[in-house]
Each structure stands twice: as C-alpha cells, then as structure tokens.
Structure 1
Amino acid sequence: MPQIAQLAATYSSQIFWLLLTFGFVFFVIGLGMVPKVQSTVDARDKKIADDLEAARAGSAAADALEADWRARENEARAAAQARIVQAKAEAARNREIALAKADAAAGEKLAAAEREIEAGRVKALGEIEAVAAEVASDIVQRVAGAKVPADMALQAVKAVI
C-alpha cells in the first residue's frame, strides 16, 4: 500500500516542521517575551507589596497620631475642667466679698438708722419730759396755787417716767 509507504516521509516532514515551529515559538515567546512578562508581574507584585507596607505604616502612624491627639484632648479637657473649677471658686470668693461688702454697707446703714432713731427717741423723750414738766407745773399752779420751779417739775416727771 502506497499510503503506508508515504507515512514515514510525510510524518518526518511534519515532525520536522512541528519541532521547528515549536522551537521558534519557544525561543521567541519563551525566552524573549516570558521573562519580560514575568519581570512585569514581579514588579507589579513588588509594587503591591510595597504599597501594602506603606499603607500599614501609614495606618500605624495615623493610629499613633490619633492616640497622641486623644492624649492632648484629654489633657485639654482636664485643664478646662480645672479652669472651670478655679473660675467657680473665684466667682464664689468674689461673691462672698461682694456679699460681705453689701452686708457691711447694710449694717452701717442700719446702725446709722438705729442711731437716728435713738437720737429721735431721746429727743422726743426729752421734749415729752419738758412738755410733761410744763403741764405738771401748770396743773400744780392751778390746783394748789403754788409755783413749782421748772427744774423740780422736770425731776418729778423723770422720776415718774
């Protein structure tokens, strides 16, 4: 059969061209393009790893900044609370001083008013005694017909009052 006799010649030619094509593809793609693609993939992987590491470092720095900020915020809050307490104490002290001054002024006014009242009372009592002595002297003169000196009548009225 002639078809079988041609098989060796046909297959050997096909195997030759197959090996030649695969060899060409291997050298061009395998040795020329694959290393470039592989280096690009490696560079991309390295870039991703570096970016992830930078992100982790940035996150750690942000956490440290946040902790520092919270510490400063807590210190500021404590300082503000201390200032509030100090301001309240100072306001209370000022209020006490103002109340003491007002109380002293009111006490002085009250004392002055009491002195005026006492002076008025003493003056009124003196006038009442003088009027009562005059009236008593007039009554004694009208009833008994005797003249009583003003100083004796005043002493008598003071003894009775």
Structure 2
Amino acid sequence: MPQLSQIGEIYASQLFWLAIVFALIYFGIGKAMVPKIERTIEDRTARVSGDLAKAEAAHQAATGLETSYQAGLDTARAQAFKAAAEAKAQATGRAEATVKAGDEAAAANTAAAMIRIDAAKATAASEIQTATVEAVQDIVAKLSGVQVDRASVEQKVKAELAHG
C-alpha cells in the first residue's frame, strides 16, 4: 500500500507542523484570549460589586425615608387626633351651652306659666267664692224666705272653702 509506505517519509514533517499548530493555539488562546476573558470577568465582577454597593446604599436611603415617613405619619396622626379632640370639646361645649340656654328658657317659661296658673287659680277661686255666696243667698232665700246678709255668708263660705 502506497499510503502506508509514505508514513516514514512524512512523519517528521507532520510532527513539525503539529507542534507549530499546537504552539499557535497555545499562544493564541493562552496568551492572547485568556487575559481578555479574565479582564472581562474582572470588569463584570467590579460592575456587580458596584451595583450591589449602590443597591445597598439605595436600600439604606429607602429605609431612612421610610423611617422619616412613619415618623411624619405618626406626627400627623397625633395632630389629627388632637384636632379631633379639640373639635369634639368645642362641639360639646356649644351643645352644653345650647342645652343650658334651652333649660333656662324652659325654666323661665315654666315659671311664667306657673304664675299665670296661680293667677288663674286665684281668679277661679274668687269667682267660685262669689258664685257660691250668691248661690247660698239664693238657696236660703228660696228655702226659708229669709234674706241673709252677704258679709256673714262670705265669712261662712270662706271658712268652708279653707277647710276643704
């Protein structure tokens, strides 16, 4: 076979070219490409570290803002509660003043009504006494035929009305 007989003649040259190709690959990849890949990895690591540091700083800032927001919210709640309590106290005071004025007006109206009632009672009692005196005079005159003097009848009627 002619292909096998040529191996001895070309063996050395194939080994030579194999060594040259491997050397080129070694130096091309190992010396040229690996440093670029390492720089890319280092750049990415640095960028990720920087981004993590920025994220941590942003987280700290957000935490600070949230704390100040909560403090402001608590302050606003306290002020709102205080304002509501003041408004309630004012409304209660106004309501109490209105009720007191109404009570005073009702008491005044009641006192005036009691005075009118007492006057009406006195007038009614006076009219009843007068009517009773006249009725007694008329009854005595019709039954006995005697005229009784008005002063004595008034005295007797007053005594009987006083005893009830």
TM-score, length-normalised on structure 2? Answer: 0.73
Residues in 1 aligned to 2:30 and 2:71: alpha-carbon distance in whole angstroms:
59
1:103 to 2:82 alignment: no
Residue aligning to 1:47:
47
**Further displaced range: 44-53 or 91-100:** 91-100
Residue aligning to 1:86:
86
String of CA shifts for 1:21-76, please: whole Å, max 9, x gaps.
44423432233222211111111101110111111111111111111111111112
Residues in 1 aligned to 2:12 and 2:79: alpha-carbon distance in whole angstroms:
95
Q: CA deviation at 1:106?
A: 1.8
Q: Which amino acid aligns with 1:113?
A: A
Unaligned 5+ runs, structure 1 = 1-9
Q: CA deviation at 1:112?
A: 2.3
Residue aligning to 2:128:
128
Matches within 5 A, 1:10-159: 14=15, 17=17, 20-138=20-138, 143=144, 145-146=146-147, 148=149, 150=150, 153-154=153-154, 157-158=157-158
RMSD: 3.0
Q: CA deviation at 1:110?
A: 1.4
String of CA shifts for 1:82-107, please: whole Å, max 9, x gaps.
22322322232122112112212221
SS state at 2:146 partner: coil
Q: Taking every aligned residue pair, what percent have the same amino acid on both sides?
A: 34
Residue aligning to 2:8:
none
Residues in 1 aligned to 2:151 and 2:54: alpha-carbon distance in whole angstroms:
116
String of CA shifts for 1:108-141, please: whole Å, max 9, x gaps.
2211221221111011011012123323444565
Residues in 1 aligned to 2:26 and 2:154: alpha-carbon distance in whole angstroms:
152
Figure out how many residues of one structure are paired with residues of the other and give that number: 153
Residues in 1 aligned to 2:116 and 2:14: alpha-carbon distance in whole angstroms:
146
